[in-house]
Amino acid sequence: MNIFETIDARRITPSTEVRPHQFLFKWNDIPCFARGELVALTGKAKSGKTYVCSILMALAVKRQLMGIERLQDEPMKVVWIDTEQSADSTQEILCIRIASLIGQSIPDNQYFVYNLRADNWQERLTLVLTCISMNQPDLVIFDGIRDVVGDINNYQEAQTVLEKLLSIASYHNTCIVCVLHQNKSLEDKTLRGALGTELQNKSFETYECQKDPDTRIFTMHQIATRKYDITHKLRFTVDNEGLPVIEARGEEAIRREDVDYSKQIDAAKIMPKIFGNEKSMLKQDFYNKAMRCIPEITCKEAYFELLKQAHELGLFKKKTVGNEVYYENSALPLSLLNLPTIPNIF
């Protein structure tokens, strides 16, 4: 086909036969998650994105879940590509969380799950495209798209990746949900890097996940669409079994003051996880690690409870060196620490 034939083949007229949009789900009676398209799912770290992905994957078997309904009668085929978590974590979500949500063991002919964290980033995109072509699924969960580019701010890389994903989504008439973090600043809700900009431009819909640190309620809502606006929000909490459950009581349903953090925080177990093999840590580094890596630390009140318990147990000391504040691991002998002894300890 020469260039003139190619251009002619791309022409759209009122009589051109085109495939109308087909949707996988309806939410609040509004169609969403279109076949042949990309959908962006974004949010800060620990904002509930993986929970939302689990809900979407469970809908391959369950006709209705958390207020979302699968449109087709027959069960769907799902490909889940995980590049962020360990293989053990991926399997645990599949065999415990998703299996619990669908109320049965995982059907081998519906769920095709691949963990690509150990693979080189240059190879991952080829592996992702092959996983999709091999299985020809209805729904693809791609968590996360950042791991198929070397430089998240490289527009050429971003464009290449998204063009290939769009092409394969169209060819197999599948919906590809691409998970990408927002920028790290709490105030900045834009998708990360050039990849995020291009993903939002190319996506049929964009959904944002948030977590309220006061109420511990997760929220998922639509922030952009090419067709149907959805103003409804999916609001859920996580029960004692680690499963999402719909939360319909409103924003003020769970008050911070109603939570007894002394019962959920065990400083003797948590402090070694934060320090690891470190002799000391900058106060800000300690805070960041606690808030981002420790599941029990869900808000600042939980963090302050951790410090209170740890101080009472003598598990750490606070020292100031120049303008910097350090937390020392008190389990280590002082002789092993490389910091001068200064008064005014916490």
pLDDT tens-digit map of 120-161: 999 999 999 999 999 999 999 999 899 999 999 999 999 999
CATH number for the domain spanning 163: value is 3.40.50.300
Query: What tens digit of pLDDT does each residue of 116-130 get?
Result: 999 999 999 999 999
Q: What mean pLDDT do residues 73-77 have? A: 97
Q: Please report whether residue 150 resides in a domain.
A: yes
- pTM flag (> 0.75): no
Domain boundary among 185, 212, 246: 246
Which residue bears the tokens 């790290």? 184
The neighbour count for residue 20, using CB atoms within 10 Å, is: 4
Q: Please report whether residue 4 resides in a domain.
A: no
Residues 154, 277, single domain; the answer is no
Residues 293, 239, single domain; the answer is no
- Residue 216 CA from chain centroid, whole number: 16
Residues 221, 164, single domain; the answer is yes
**3-class DSSP assignment, residue 40:** strand
Q: Please report whether residue 44 resides in a domain.
A: yes
Euclidean distance between CA atoms 135 and 172, whole angstroms? 10
Whether the per-residue pLDDT at 339 is higher than 60: the answer is no
Q: Which two tokens stand for residue 267?
A: 């400083």
Residues 143, 280, single domain; the answer is no
Number of domains in the chain: 2
CATH number for the domain spanning 284: value is 1.10.10.10
pLDDT at 134: 97
Q: What mean pLDDT do residues 287-293 have? A: 77
Q: Please report whether residue 185 resides in a domain.
A: yes
Residues 210, 315, single domain; the answer is no
pLDDT at 100: 93
Residue 290 domain boundaries:
261-336
Euclidean distance between CA atoms 16 and 172, whole angstroms? 21
Lowest mean pLDDT among 61-70, 115-124, 277-286: 277-286
Whether the per-residue pLDDT at 340 is higher than 60: the answer is no
Euclidean distance between CA atoms 346 and 334, whole angstroms? 16
Residues 237, 265, single domain; the answer is no
Q: Which two tokens stand for residue 209?
A: 């996940």
Q: Which two tokens stand for residue 262?
A: 């002394």
- The angle that helices 283-293 and 267-275 make with each other, rounded to 10 degrees, is 110
Report the relative pairing of strands 139-143 and 175-181 from DSSP bridges: parallel
- Which of the four pLDDT bands, split at 50, 70 and 90, describes residue 251? very low
- Which of the four pLDDT bands, split at 50, 70 and 90, describes residue 259? low
Whether the per-residue pLDDT at 298 is higher than 70: the answer is no
Which residues have C-beta within 8 Å of that of residue 144, sequence separation ≥ 6?
83, 84, 178, 179, 180, 181
Euclidean distance between CA atoms 204 and 41, whole angstroms? 11
More confident residue, 331 or 70: 70
Q: Please report whether residue 198 resides in a domain.
A: yes
- The angle that helices 267-275 and 300-312 make with each other, rounded to 10 degrees, is 100
Euclidean distance between CA atoms 49 and 45, whole angstroms? 8
Domain boundary among 198, 220, 246: 246
Domain boundary among 212, 246, 280: 246
Euclidean distance between CA atoms 335 and 326, whole angstroms? 16
Q: Please report whether residue 141 resides in a domain.
A: yes
Q: What mean pLDDT do residues 162-173 have? A: 97
Euclidean distance between CA atoms 227 and 229, whole angstroms? 7
Query: What tens digit of pLDDT does each residue of 16-60 get?
Result: 988 899 999 999 899 999 999 999 999 998 899 999 999 999 999
Residues 211, 276, single domain; the answer is no
Q: Is residue 27 a contact partner of residue 193, using CB atoms and an 8 Å limit?
A: no
Q: Please report whether residue 77 resides in a domain.
A: yes
Residues 201, 267, single domain; the answer is no
Residues 34, 126, single domain; the answer is yes
Q: What mean pLDDT do residues 159-178 have? A: 97
Residues 88, 28, single domain; the answer is yes
Question: DSSP per residue over 214-225, as a string?
Answer: TT--EEEEEEEE
Residues 178, 322, single domain; the answer is no
Report the percentage of the chain scoring pLDDT > 90: 60
Q: Would you call 38 exposed, middle or buried from its count of C-beta atoms within 10 A (0-12, 13-18, 19+)? A: buried
Q: Alpha helices, DSSP H only, in the chain?
A: 3-10, 49-58, 87-92, 99-102, 121-135, 155-172, 193-202, 261-264, 267-275, 283-293, 300-312
Q: Which two tokens stand for residue 340?
A: 């001068």
Residues 121, 213, single domain; the answer is yes
Q: Which two tokens stand for residue 317?
A: 């000391």
- Residue 124 CA from chain centroid, whole number: 19
